[in-house]
């Protein structure tokens, strides 16, 4: 199995993991009702609601996606009631690796992606806006399958395909397509 090394994002990921453990330890002493809470104290659903609505310029969205990825990566066995394992660590690394490489790209204003678990240990990133929808699924540690959908005057237009994860330019082009007005 090929693992993609991305020390910068690994560091953020490790920090997030540490924060969650910290919250669990301090759960009995924190007054959570009276003050706004940092993201790592939000419940899973609150965090999902709060983050993807926000638009982000440049690469700001990538760190937010990492927070969501952290939540998905921590799902327990049988999270779907159908016996699914937690997301494959190799795929989690592949997602982080892609995000790391995208951080070096010049992208337009990209909304924060939703990070969705796929049964059997997969992960999908998904963007939706009025009129456009984009999803990229990590089939394994080396392949991405995408679907893009657009509402046109002629109706809904849907296209899909697959490409190697190593081909970051393809992901960049999909994100550029999504960001274009």
Interface residues with another protein (CB under 8 A) are 43-46, 48-49, 52-53, 71-72, 75, 78-82, 84, 88, 114-122, 124, 126, 128, 133, 135, 137, 139, 145-147, 149, 158, 160-162
Closest CB to another protein among residues 37, 103 = 37
- Minimum CB distance to another protein, residue 170 (Å): 13
Burial class (CB in 10 A: 0-12, 13-18, 19+), 63: middle
CA separation for the pair 151, 71 (Å, rounded): 31
Closest CB to another protein among residues 100, 137 = 137
Closest CB to another protein among residues 108, 120 = 120
Half-sphere exposure of 88 (CA within 13 A, CB side): 19
DSSP state of 87: P
- Minimum CB distance to another protein, residue 39 (Å): 15
- Minimum CB distance to another protein, residue 51 (Å): 9
Short-list 96, 29, 48, 135, CA closest to 88: 96
Closest CB to another protein among residues 60, 80 = 80
Closest CB to another protein among residues 88, 100 = 88
Using CA atoms of 6, 12, 18, 23 in order, give the dihedral in degrees to the nearest 10.
-150
- Minimum CB distance to another protein, residue 84 (Å): 8
- Minimum CB distance to another protein, residue 140 (Å): 8
Residue with tokens 């994002």: 9
Are the CB atoms for 102 and 114 separated by under 8 Å? no
């Amino acid at each position: 199995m090929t693992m993609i090394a991305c020390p910068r994002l690994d560091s953020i990921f490790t920090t997030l993991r540490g924060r969650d453990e910290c919250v669990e330890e301090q759960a009995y002493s924190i007054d959570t009702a009276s003050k706004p809470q940092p993201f790592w104290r939000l419940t899973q659903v609150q965090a999902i609601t709060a983050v993807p609505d926000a638009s982000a310029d440049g690469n700001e969205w990538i760190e937010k996606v990492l927070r969501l990825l952290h939540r998905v990566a921590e799902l327990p066995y049988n999270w779907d009631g159908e016996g699914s394992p937690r997301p494959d660590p190799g795929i989690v690394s592949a997602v982080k690796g892609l995000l790391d490489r995208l951080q070096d790209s010049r992208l337009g204003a990209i909304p924060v992606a939703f990070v969705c678990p796929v049964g059997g240990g997969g992960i999908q990133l998904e963007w939706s806006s009025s009129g456009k929808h984009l999803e990229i699924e990590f089939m394994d540690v080396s392949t991405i399958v995408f679907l893009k959908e657009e509402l046109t005057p002629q109706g809904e237009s849907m296209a899909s395909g697959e490409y190697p994860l190593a081909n970051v330019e393809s992901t960049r082009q999909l994100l550029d397509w999504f960001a274009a007005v």
